[in-house]
A and B are shown apart, each in its own frame.
Chain A
Amino acid sequence: DVKVTQSSRYLVKRTGEKVFLECVQDMDHENMFWYRQDPGLGLRLIYFSYDVKMKEKGDIPEGYSVSREKKERFSLILESASTNQTSMYLCASTLQGLPYEQYFGPGTRLTVT
């Protein structure tokens, strides 16, 4: 079974802090994604990566950056956390050959105070 793990289930940070959310997948998937999930807004894509060191902006990249130094790990960085970044963050991965069958991690609920 594919396993996608995220570094924390719950995280509380202060406004202005730099925040790192880590995602690791164990099935050699080429593509990895970061979403945020908010009530009434569904899933919104922040960034995705289709190869090591490659990244593409999603629909809401402002205020975020990403890093993919190794194939199995995709990090989401909030350079200076703000209260409007309080949300559930979901990581997902897919095989190149099945690019739309996404495997999700359990999510990180981030609260910025």
Chain B
Amino acid sequence: GDSVTQMEGPVTLSEEAFLTINCTYTATGYPSLFWYVQYPGEGLQLLLKATKADDKGSNKGFEATYRKETTSFHLEKGSVQVSDSAVYFCALSGTGNNRKLIWGLGTSLAVNP
């Protein structure tokens, strides 16, 4: 079945460092891909999305490109801030029209000043 694999955390970086969080997927068909973020004490919120191959999603300085050839959707940011400390979830849309997301396990990011 469809699945998402994220790099394990926690990831610890210093402020202004470059961030990459790896996400690869297995899917039949042509899913849409998503990154969600969960700040401490809050629910998840959509960070960015891409709906077809070679699309780049971007928001708040974060970017991810839908790579069909490598089945990847890695999250990147050029210069992280302390306020980016959160848990990041990669997800893909389920097959068919079942409205469900297939979730990765999440990667915790801690940014130190």
Contact = CB atoms under 8 A, between A and B. Distances in A.
Interface of A: 4, 31, 40-43, 45, 48, 50, 58, 90, 92, 94, 99-107
A contact patch SS: strand
Given A100-B93, A104-B43, A104-B44, A41 B99 contact: no
Contacts of B32: 100
B43 A45 contact: no
B71 interface: no
A100 B104 contact: no
Contacts of B89: 42-43
A41 B46 contact: no
List the 6 closest A-B pairs by CB distance, nearest first: A104-B43, A42-B105, A99-B99, A104-B44, A100-B93, A43-B103
A54 B26 CA distance: 30
Given A40-B105, A100-B34, 11 more contacts: A42-B103, A42-B106, A43-B89, A58-B100, A90-B43, A99-B97, A99-B99, A100-B101, A104-B43, A104-B44, A107-B42
Contacts of B100: 45, 48, 58
A94 B49 CA distance: 15
A101 B43 contact: no
Interface of B: 32, 34, 36, 41-46, 49, 89, 91, 93, 97, 99-101, 103-106
A76 to B, nearest CB: 15
Contacts of B43: 4, 90, 92, 104-107
A105 B42 CA distance: 8
Given A42-B89, A43-B89, A104 B103 contact: no
6 contacts: A4-B43, A42-B105, A42-B106, A50-B99, A101-B49, A107-B42
Q: Counting chain B CB atoms within 10 Å of each CB, which of A31, A45, A102, A103 scores highest?
A: A102
A90 B44 contact: yes
